[in-house]
Amino acid sequence: MAASSLEVEGLEVVTRAGVPILDDLSFRVAEGQALGIVGESGSGKSVALRATMGLPPAGTSVRAGTVMVGDRRVPAGSVTPAGVAMVFQDSFTSLDPTMRLGSYLAETVARHRGATIAAARSRARELLRDVGMTEPELRMRAFPHQLSGGLRQRAAIALALATDPRYLLCDEPTTALDVTLQARILALLKARQGAAGLGLVFVSHDIAVVSQIADVVAVMYAGRIVEIGPTATVIGSPRHPYAQALVAALPDLDRPGTRFLSIAGTPPDPSEFTAGCRFQARCGHPGTGCDQPLAGLDGRDHRHRSDCLHEDTHPAGRAS
Amino acid sequence: MRTLLEVEDLRVDFTVGAHGRRRRLRAVDGVDLVVREGEILGLVGESGCGKSTLARTLVGLQAPSGGRISLGGDLLPRRRPAAVRKRIQMIFQDPGSSLDPRHTVREALLAPLRVHRLADGAGEEARVRELMGLVELPERLLDAKPRSLSGGQRQRVAIARALAVEPDVLVADEAVAALDASATGAILNLLADLRTSLGLTVVFISHDLSVVRGLCDRVAVMYLGRVVELGRTAEIFARPRHPYLQALLAAVPRVGAPIAAPPLEGDEPPSLLDPPSGCRFRTRCPAAFDRCVTEEPALVTRGGALVACHLADRC
């Protein structure tokens, strides 16, 4: 039997004015698997995670969709599904500023496991050690403002792991961190994925980071998945012009060029979303039929494909 | 190339804590640095290493506690008159907060011209349009407010505003850190082009080593307030001598490569309030030995680069 999975189906998120940010987004991640989602700001990647957790961003609401964890089905947007936890980019807001880290963690553990405070504190210490803190006792006595960004982010991951989740949604968890810390946190998440069979959804704008952690990559643009597939295939031979441009724009430490590549223009605002290809205004080689309505790709199917009608006609790796 | 900006034994102190528990924190501790005319010098290091404080001190936003800064051979006074201030300009990480949300692009560009009395009447409008051309922004955006601009466009406005006073040096503090991958490249290319077309000198602060590798001629690596390695980017990135630079480079995520957790000891850089004795990096250094505890390594020349490590010859 296939591993149990987290499945999000038909997610629809709208602004207060009724403008859809996501329409009919679906994705799946199995236990022990890592799904990476890449895209620019405004592509809807963070909104998708938050809506899955039942925490849509302020000013938006979930109009449709279901979340299935194993065989338990809940409507998206109203409740936090059991067994799923999330790590945010800004760890300061996920910790309680009035509580010492140890008490906050222990309380979460006690509530979740029904453990005694002493047992919960010992579990909290273990969690902090797991996320790479060398002096957990010292850190447990600290308030969030007394911790550096790197320690706070690790505390936030410990907090998310305190509920023994089977799936962890990570929204740019390392973007604000130095490379040394970033590498440690990635190694930590990867180890959890391997040893504990944690299912990871890892959202980032940094393709290099995603390439290191994800088994499957979905590229999002303007609220839709425009390309998906096994990581090495998508990054090695992207088919959608947007994915090709993103890969080409990546600065390479080992092979620096004389010019940096970029994608001209900006992504459309949700109020300008069209039924056809939403990338066509920035596309280096639009063809006929780009106005035909597209459904966006179903992220539950991890085979490599793009929703560009002309993916066979433009050479792989060419950027606009 | 001629030396344009010279920093000697620069120190910047802050007082932290309240009442009876005031303590001195030295964010920049004895930095010597030369910026050559027309070069792009990178400044890298982890958060808290003092790179932003150094940048703010170069621009005059922060007063030094000791040491000297000279520009074109002239020693800069502690309090800089307007004519000196305009020669070193700065752009910031988040142009969303460094631009006034109520001002149009035109107003943002006119302000420095008026403050420094650089143009008037018809000359003003011509100069504003020229600046828009310089940063490759369409003139139709002159009446737009920052809100309606993309991150990349806002950063271009910030660059144009800095260039309005024709500075000798542009200091860019994490200028692309808040931008999307698609906009980052265009801003970096613009900085490289401005260096060529205007002969602009740029001090580029960043934590992204891949970006620094592609843009900067030389790079200075800072750790806990000091420069630990300095040299031509291509050279020191290919052959890093300081264990800290080696760790930084090893940690950069690379497509297709496995995650490489850096071989650093401990979970945190030590506090600036209580820096380690001897070599400041020794508490995290995988190669530290007795001499590192007692003796601080000096910056010495090794193979065309400067490096502060007792093992410089062996690395």
Q: Output phi, psi for B130, to 5 deg.
A: -65, -40
Domain with B260 in it: 3-87+167-314
Q: Is B203 helix (H, G, I), strand (E, B) or coil?
A: strand
Q: Which residues contact A232 (CB under 8 A, 6 or more apart)?
A: A211, B256
Within a domain: B214: yes
Within a domain: B131: yes
The answer for A 182-241 residues in CB contact with B (under 8 A) is 182-184, 186-187, 190, 205-209, 211-213, 232, 235-236
3-state secondary structure chain A: CCCCEEEEEEEEEEECCCCEEEEEEEEEEECCCEEEEECCCCCCHHHHHHHHCCCCCCCEEEEEEEEEECCEEEECCCCCCCCEEEECCCHHHHCCCCCCHHHHHHHHHHHHHCCCHHHHHHHHHHHHHHCCCCCHHHHHCCCHHHCCHHHHHHHHHHHHHCCCCCEEEEECCCCCCCHHHHHHHHHHHHHHHHHCCCEEEEEECCHHHHHHHCCEEEEEECCEEEEEEEHHHHHHCCCCHHHHHHHHCCCCCCCCCCCCCCCCCCCCCHHHCCCCCCCCCCCCCCCCCCCCCCCCCCECCCCCEECCCCCCCCCCCCCC
- Do B174 and B261 lie in one domain? The reply is yes
Residue range B140-148: average pLDDT?
94
- Do B142 and B280 lie in one domain? The reply is no
Q: Residue A104: exposed, middle, or buried by beta-carbon count in 10 A (0-12, 13-18, 19+)?
A: buried
Write down the pLDDT at residue A317.
43
Contact list in A for residue B253 (CB cut-off 8 A) is 179, 182-183, 186, 206, 208-209, 211-212
ipTM of the complex in this document: 0.85
A207 to B181: CB separation less than 8 angstroms, yes or no: yes
Q: List the strands of the sheet with B74-75, edge to edge.
A: B23-36, B3-16, B66-71, B74-75
Within a domain: B42: yes
Q: How confident is the model at residue A156 (pLDDT cuts 50, 70, 90)?
A: very high
Contact list in B for residue A271 (CB cut-off 8 A) is none
d(CA A245, CA A306): 14
pLDDT tens, residue by residue, B56-98: 999 999 999 999 999 999 999 988 999 999 999 999 988 888 8
B113, B141, B166 - which closes a domain: B166
Helix segments in B44-150, DSSP class H: 51-59, 82-85, 95-98, 105-115, 122-134
- Do B251 and B151 lie in one domain? The reply is no
Over the Cα atoms of chain A, what is R_g?
Answer: 20
For residue A209, give the nearest of A231, A194, A224, A226 by alpha carbon.
Answer: A231
The answer for A 59-98 residues in CB contact with B (under 8 A) is none
- Is the overall model pTM greater than 0.80, yes or no? yes
pLDDT tens, residue by residue, A164-180: 999 999 999 888 788 88
Q: Is B155 on the interface with A (CB under 8 A)?
A: no
Residue B203 maps to which CATH number?
3.40.50.300
Span of A4-8, A155-159, A312-316 with lowest mean pLDDT? A312-316
- The alpha carbon of residue A40 is apart from the nearest alpha carbon of chain B, in Å, by 6
d(CA B55, CA B88): 10
d(CA B139, CA B204): 27
A186 to B251: CB separation less than 8 angstroms, yes or no: no
A180 to B183: CB separation less than 8 angstroms, yes or no: no
Within a domain: B92: no
Average pLDDT taken over every residue of chain A: 90
- The alpha carbon of residue A300 is apart from the nearest alpha carbon of chain B, in Å, by 24
pLDDT tens, residue by residue, A219-274: 999 999 999 999 999 999 999 999 999 998 888 888 777 788 888 888 888 999 99
d(CA B137, CA B135): 6
- Do B80 and B190 lie in one domain? The reply is yes
d(CA A119, CA A131): 19
Element (H, E) at B163: helix B151-163
Residue range B101-123: average pLDDT?
92
A307-316, B60-69, B265-274: which is most confident: B60-69
The answer for B 14-43 residues in CB contact with A (under 8 A) is none
Q: Which residues contact B197 (CB under 8 A, 6 or more apart)?
A: none
Alpha carbon distance, N-terminus to C-terminus of chain A: 44
- Do B121 and B27 lie in one domain? The reply is no
Angle between helices B181-198 and B151-163 (to 10 degrees): 20
Write down the pLDDT at residue A118.
92
Within a domain: B274: yes
Q: Residue A191: exposed, middle, or buried by beta-carbon count in 10 A (0-12, 13-18, 19+)?
A: middle
d(CA A213, CA A238): 18
What is the percent of chain A with per-residue pLDDT over 70, rounded to a whole number?
A: 97
Within a domain: B135: yes
B142, B166, B190 - which closes a domain: B166
- Pick A262's closest partner by Cβ from B184, B254, B267: B184
B166, B198, B222 - which closes a domain: B166
B253 to A208: CB separation less than 8 angstroms, yes or no: yes
- Do B186 and B63 lie in one domain? The reply is yes
Q: Is A16 on the interface with B (CB under 8 A)?
A: no
- Number of folded domains that form chain B: 2
Within a domain: B271: yes
Average pLDDT taken over every residue of chain B: 92
- Do B81 and B186 lie in one domain? The reply is yes
Q: How confident is the model at residue A314 (pLDDT cuts 50, 70, 90)?
A: low
Residue range B135-139: average pLDDT?
94
Q: Is B211 on the interface with A (CB under 8 A)?
A: yes
With 70 as the cut, is the pLDDT of residue A316 above it? no
- Do B116 and B201 lie in one domain? The reply is no
Contact between B227 and B299 under an 8 Å Cβ cutoff? The reply is yes
The answer for B 113-142 residues in CB contact with A (under 8 A) is none
Within a domain: B93: no
Nearest residue of chain B to residue A232 (CA atoms): B256
Q: Is A266 on the interface with B (CB under 8 A)?
A: yes
Probe site for chain A from B148, B156, B215, B267 (most A CB atoms < 10 A): B267
B255 to A235: CB separation less than 8 angstroms, yes or no: yes
Contact list in B for residue A263 (CB cut-off 8 A) is 182
Probe site for chain B from A180, A247, A263 (most B CB atoms < 10 A): A180
For residue B240, give the nearest of B161, B177, B164, B306 by alpha carbon.
Answer: B306
Q: CB contacts < 8 Å between A and B, how many?
A: 136
Q: List the strands of the sheet with A20-30, edge to edge.
A: A20-30, A5-15, A60-69, A72-75
d(CA A32, CA A193): 5
For residue B56, give the nearest of B83, B36, B28 by alpha carbon.
Answer: B28
Write down the pLDDT at residue A315.
59
- The alpha carbon of residue B234 is apart from the nearest alpha carbon of chain A, in Å, by 9
- Do B148 and B270 lie in one domain? The reply is no
The answer for A 104-163 residues in CB contact with B (under 8 A) is 132-135, 148-151, 154
With 70 as the cut, is the pLDDT of residue A318 above it? no
For A178, A255, B217, B240, the CA distances from B237, given in Å and listed in that order, are 17, 12, 11, 5
Span of A126-135, A272-281, B160-169 with lowest mean pLDDT? A126-135
With 70 as the cut, is the pLDDT of residue A320 above it? no
d(CA A312, CA A239): 8
Span of A141-145, B20-24, B88-92, B168-172 with lowest mean pLDDT? B20-24
d(CA B230, CA B216): 12
Q: Is B256 on the interface with A (CB under 8 A)?
A: yes
- Do B225 and B280 lie in one domain? The reply is yes
With 80 as the cut, is the pLDDT of residue B315 above it? no
- The alpha carbon of residue B257 is apart from the nearest alpha carbon of chain A, in Å, by 7
Contact list in A for residue B264 (CB cut-off 8 A) is 180
A246 to B214: CB separation less than 8 angstroms, yes or no: no
A256 to B214: CB separation less than 8 angstroms, yes or no: yes
- Do B278 and B199 lie in one domain? The reply is yes
pLDDT tens, residue by residue, B227-261: 999 999 999 999 999 999 999 999 999 988 889 88
d(CA B222, CA A315): 43
- Do B203 and B299 lie in one domain? The reply is yes
Contact list in B for residue A135 (CB cut-off 8 A) is 267
